[in-house]
Structure formats: C-alpha cells, structure tokens
Amino acid sequence: MDKHEVSFEDKYSYEHSKGYYSKHQSFRKHLTTWFEGRMVKRASGIAGNPKVILDLPCGFGRLWPALIATGATKIIAADKSTGMLQVAKEMTPAEVLSRVTCIASTATEIELPDKSVDSIFCMRLLHHIHDKNYRLAIYHSFQRVARDTVVVSLWSQNSARYQRNKYKKSRDGKKPEEAVRKGDRYYFNIQEMEAEFIEGGFEIIGHTDMLPYISPWRTYVLKVT
C-alpha cells in the first residue's frame, strides 16, 4: 500500500466510477466542464501550448476533448483506478479515445521515464489532499517526469463558494477550522499554496481562475526548475 494513501482514493471502484461518470452527464456538470475546458485552454497557453502531455489523474477522460483542442500531439492519460480507466475506455467516443494512450499509475509512482513529457496536467486531485507531505511527494514525482511545466488545479479560499461553506459551518456550530473542508475536499489558502509550490521546487509562471471570485477552481502553471 502506498504510504500516502488516503480514503478518497479507495472509492473509485468500477461501480463508483460509473456513478461518477453518470453524475457528470447533467446539464449543470456539462456547463462546469465547458468552463473548466476554457480554463485548461488558458493554462495551456500560459504553459506555451505543450505538445506532449500527461493527464493525471485522467478520471473518465472528461477533459480529453479540451486537451486535444489545445493542439497537443501526444496525450498520455493516467489514473490510479483501473475501474475508472475502464469506464473511460467504455464511454469515450472512438475518435477521442484514439488520440489518447491510457496507463494505470499513481501520482507519486508514475510509470513513465524521467523527463518524458512536456507538461503534466493535474486537474481535480489536489483539493482532495489535505496532507502537505503527500502533496510535496506528488510535486517531486511530477518534477521527475515533466520536462517543462506542471499545471495543477485546486480549490481557492478566495471565492464565494468558500465564504458560503464558512457561513454554513459556523451556522451549524462547527469549529472555524472546519470551514476549509467540504466532505473529502479542501479549500486552500492561496498564499500558503504559492509558498508550497516554491518549496516544492517550482517557479510560478501564472494562474487562471475558472470564474474569478465565484468558483473556487484556480489553475496554476508551474515551471519545472
């Protein structure tokens, strides 16, 4: 068992992954994916439109059309869950799937050689990971595999959604520190995260927000040093 394993990682069985896919077929979720795809496009531009990309974790391939649209010529997609990868293969249209190479891999033990991709896109993973040492281990692994940049999304506290969560928690009599958490996901302090990226060996090239101050989703583009 990976020493950094946390509970959210165990839930992506084949059945759970199918449910996750189905949940994302609503109009609201499609709209969110559209906005997220725009964020991916802007982040790719900041990163210099990398050609060889690792999408990790790829989930069911929700962002593959957006990654293909960036002009990437090679997309490797990795996820820890073989169940999720199975769902991705079953549900993705053939013309999209044919552009992607799927591998089973964790974020800390990536099954690829050193410096084998231009950029790693890590969307919707960090907001699940509360343990700073685990995040640093992920950055270390990304530094090994990426030649140029790493693109990561997270939940920022500078957002209306965080303020609403904070209000609800205090109304329910929860301790103030509980406000950073929503189920198994966490809102991060931006200054602390930026310091952490630098501690992790990156230079921050830029960031882009999904819907500034409304949505908590922020994506950073980090230069591998």
Q: Which residues contact ligand SAM by CB under 6 A?
A: 9, 12, 56-59, 62-63, 79-81, 84, 106-107, 123-125
Q: Peptide bond before 57: cis, by omega within 30 degrees of 0?
A: yes
Q: Which is nearer to ligand SAM, 48 or 65 (CB)?
A: 65
24, 25, 33, 62, 186 from 29: Cα distances, Å = 5, 6, 6, 11, 20
- Least distance from C-beta 84 to ligand SAM, angstroms? 4
Q: Which is nearer to ligand SAM, 70 or 81 (CB)?
A: 81
- CA–CA dist 145, 139 (Å, integer): 10
- Least distance from C-beta 91 to ligand SAM, angstroms? 12
Hey, what amino acid is at 137? Answer: A
- Least distance from C-beta 14 to ligand SAM, angstroms? 11
- Least distance from C-beta 2 to ligand SAM, angstroms? 7
Q: Which is nearer to ligand SAM, 2 or 172 (CB)?
A: 2
Q: Where are the alpha helices (DSSP H) in 48-159?
A: 64-69, 82-91, 94-97, 132-145
